[in-house]
Structure 1
Amino acid sequence: MLSAIFGISHARRARRPVRLAGPAGSGAGALRPTHPGEIMPDVSVCSSWESSEGLRTQTGDTDFQNLWGAGCAGCRMSWFQKLFGYNHGVVIGMLHVPALPGTPCHNMTLQAIIKKVCSEARGYVQAGITGLMLENMHDVPYIQPDDIGPEITTSMTAVSCAVRQEYPNIPIGVQVLSAANKQALAVALAAGLDFIRAEGFVFSHIGDEGLQNACAGELLRYRRQIGADHIKVLTDIKKKHSSHAITSDVSISETAKSAEFFLSDGLIVTGTSTGVPASPQDIQEVREVVNLPVVIGSGVTVDNLHESRAMLHANGCIVGSHFKHGGHWQNDVDLRRVKHFMDEAKTLQT
């Protein structure tokens, strides 16, 4: 089965949305703010951290395992439901932004890109999607984060702002390829988004862009420095399109535990490439060792939505390829496929 996610932007964090009865995101009434003036607690820093006396070992060190289980575990799971309004059946629809200025495949004005992305977002919302995520997937070939120019960050910010303006209450996230996690945080902060998808959070791997090293410490310090602690960081582990030979002695469950220890807000498990289903065994192994939301990041289709054993252990899914004409990520969104999928997914939403 699937499970729930996300909230609203920093500017609106004092009035978090709550889910009305019935299908999510199907109209203006799908989300509504809490009572005017009501302040929802910010769970980005759990009170257990501030009252961790009694969770010390005999050597005086903090017993992090018990700290997670005693207090933070609940907070680190609850943000997921508070943001999306469901425990099960959450679906994040991918908005694959057309190639941006300066990239080899760029062939549209920024205004045309914004119009296209907003149109696809509109179709997703009408079909009842639970959340959205923007990604510059058409910017092939991808480059290392230090080589990404300001034109990419500013363009993604402009597109994200347009989508957020049109849909102020639906959960929205962003990913900037490749592994441009700081840039994604900056975009999310400027556009009032709710989460990012981060690559290379813990352990190194070899992607088709080259070596990518762990970024957790640097990324979360940057998040604190820019005042973006309210923006959640969902992190890929043993990510697709990558070789993990250099960490072949580290299992996916150990990787998951390390990501949790390094303060990930949620984990994403994928297959070997875009559109390839994640291993049900991987999902189960990760679910059993962490107290974090676990999201399936590839290969979910209407055919395996109910049948896959992975769905019993995951908390949500990100769907891109299956929503496109012919099931290929490069094509336009096929709203009939989205509607069919969401009609099935809504039966899992609780």
Structure 2
Amino acid sequence: MSKKWTEEVLGTDKVIIAMCHFTALPGDPGFDEKGGMEAVVERARREMLKLQEGGVDAIMFSNEFSLPYLTKVKTETVAAMARIIGEIKGDLHIPFGVNVLWDPEKSLDLAKATGAKFVREIFTGVYASDFGIWDTNCGEVVRHQHAIGAQDVKLLFNIVPEAAKYIQRDDIAQIAKSTVFNCRPDALCVSGLTAGAATDSQVLKTVKNEVPQTIVFANTGVRKENVAEQLKIADGAVVGTTFKKDGIFENAVDRERVKEFMDVVKEFRNK
């Protein structure tokens, strides 16, 4: 049986991808003009090192505090993210990916420029969302991926977008099946309503059962208390809020919380 791409690219099955959330960037409403980009870079470096030292398998950099999000991201955001990654990646010794919220083409541009192994995005569907009507065009995005030579970048499709609902589609099994058939994702990500909201185990199981040959990640709300249960179903998890101090989205990463979580994961893998 051939290896899963997660084993080949990220080094393990049942992989844990940790989110490294950048604070607000130039052009964002919350950007700290006084601290400037230097403060953003140094915060990102500290967060990244805590995650790496805590034992995660991979890191995904995202502009999580560019609230409210855009679906067509500005050039200054991508430029700022590229600078941050360029300055800190010399201290990074595990694979990484990127997520430019919520713009798949810009995510691929950033991945190609920085050497990221994967991107996570909303590639398919039409939604009613907190950001208005949210439309996508997967065919254009994949053609852009090939045009810039980013064919080796793995595409993680978020099929249950946070803060959004499919327009006239609610059968998650059929969504998973049609997405895999039409778009050939490298992985499907299944989310709760918002960052930190638990992924429903039954929804996760429904998706995995429908597309058993496709990598499926629990995308939000995975905690030390439920990670073993989630990994019995999923091929891995994307984890952000859980690794923050007191499990609060706005807080900085807590290295001890990361280590305690990864100890549970390692125990699960060794069973």
Shorter-chain TM-score above 0.5: yes
Provide the C-alpha distance between the structure 1 equivalents of 2:74 and 2:125, rounded to a whole number of angstroms.
25
Pick the structure with greater CA Rg.
1
Q: Which residue of 1 aligns with 2:88?
A: 163
Contact 1:157 1:187 in 2 (8 A): yes
Contact 2:4 2:13 in 1 (8 A): no
Confirm whether residue 128 of structure 1 aligns to residue 62 of structure 2.
no
Contact 1:130 1:170 in 2 (8 A): yes
Provide the C-alpha distance between the structure 2 equivalents of 1:246 and 1:161, rounded to a whole number of angstroms.
42
Relative to the length of structure 1, the TM-score reads 0.73
Provide the C-alpha distance between the structure 2 equivalents of 1:212 and 1:171, rounded to a whole number of angstroms.
30
CA displacement at 1:119 relative to structure 2: 1.4
CA displacement at 1:222 relative to structure 2: 0.3
**Which of residues 109, 116, 137 in structure 1 aligns to 2:64?**
137
Q: Which residue of 2 aligns with 1:19?
A: none
CA displacement at 1:245 relative to structure 2: 4.3
Provide the C-alpha distance between the structure 1 equivalents of 2:11 and 2:74, rounded to a whole number of angstroms.
36
Q: Could you list the runs of 5+ residues in structure 2 that have no partner in the other structure?
A: none
**Which of residues 42, 49, 52 in structure 2 aligns to 1:115?**
42
Runs of 4+ in 1 over 3 A off after TM superposition: none
Aligned-residue CA RMSD in angstroms?
Answer: 1.6
CA displacement at 1:165 relative to structure 2: 2.4
| 1:219-258 equivalent positions in 2, closer than 5 A | 219-248=141-170, 251-258=171-178
Contact 1:86 1:349 in 2 (8 A): no
| 1:62-81 equivalent positions in 2, closer than 5 A | 78-81=4-7
Provide the C-alpha distance between the structure 1 equivalents of 2:246 and 2:145, rounded to a whole number of angstroms.
38
Confirm whether residue 347 of structure 1 aligns to residue 263 of structure 2.
no
Cα shift readout 1:122-163 (whole Å, capped 9, x = no counterpart)? 111111111101111111111231xx2211010111112233
**Which of residues 91, 99, 102 in structure 2 aligns to 1:175?**
99
Contact 1:202 1:258 in 2 (8 A): no
Confirm whether residue 217 of structure 1 aligns to residue 139 of structure 2.
yes
Provide the C-alpha distance between the structure 2 equivalents of 1:162 and 1:263, rounded to a whole number of angstroms.
33
Cα shift readout 1:40-86 (whole Å, capped 9, x = no counterpart)? xxxxxxxxxxxxxxxxxxxxxxxxxxxxxxxxxx77x7212111222
Cα shift readout 1:188-214 (whole Å, capped 9, x = no counterpart)? 110111100011x22211221111223
Contact 2:205 2:233 in 1 (8 A): yes
Q: Which residue of 1 aligns with 2:203?
A: 282
- AA in 1 matched with 2:129: G
- AA in 1 matched with 2:25: L
Contact 1:238 1:269 in 2 (8 A): yes
Confirm whether residue 335 of structure 1 aligns to residue 255 of structure 2.
yes
**How many residues matched?**
266
| 1:254-269 equivalent positions in 2, closer than 5 A | 254-261=174-181, 262-269=183-190
Cα shift readout 1:280-333 (whole Å, capped 9, x = no counterpart)? 111111111222110011011111122x3x331100111111111121111111
Relative to the length of structure 2, the TM-score reads 0.93
Confirm whether residue 150 of structure 1 aligns to residue 75 of structure 2.
yes
Q: Could you list the runs of 5+ residues in structure 1 that have no partner in the other structure?
A: 1-73
